[in-house]
Amino acid sequence: MQLAKVIGTVVADRKDPSLEGIRLLVIQPHDHEGRPDGPPVIATDPLQAGPGDTVEWVTGREAAMGLPRTFAPVDVCVVAIVDHAWGDTRRYA
């Protein structure tokens, strides 16, 4: 599970039936200080997040379990819209 910033949306008309009604977002993974972690990825979004939001996301088999239909061909899913996240590596690590 990781933090990410929503930087865009994806629209796909022709898709697997289990993805009907599921929004797709472009998210940029980052750490608690905003440092990017790898390239942007496309995530399913059952929570109505929008560009500019900070979100928590999961990857792997668990991603599909965040959706209403838990057997779906999905490997990234948004599970929370973050109000506030903080961390202080220099002080605590």
Partner 1 sequence: MILCRVVGNAIATVKHPDFERFAVMVCQPVDPAGRPIGLSFLSVDSVQAGVGDLVLCAREGNTARQILVGGRESPHHSVILAVVDEVRFGDSVLAGPGT
Residue ranges binding partner 1 (CB under 8 A): 1-3, 31-33, 35, 37, 46-49, 56, 58-63, 65-66, 70, 77, 79-89, 91-93
Nearest CB to partner 1, comparing residues 11 and 71: 71
Nearer to partner 1, 17 or 89 (CB): 89
Return the H-helix or E-strand segment holding 4: strand 2-10
Nearer to partner 1, 14 or 85 (CB): 85
Residue 35: CB minimum distance to partner 1, A: 6
* Distance from C-alpha of 24 to C-alpha of 10, rounded to nearest angstrom: 5
**Order of strands across the sheet with 2-10?**
41-45, 23-30, 2-10, 54-59
If one counts every other C-beta atom within 10 angstroms of the C-beta of residue 57, the result is 24
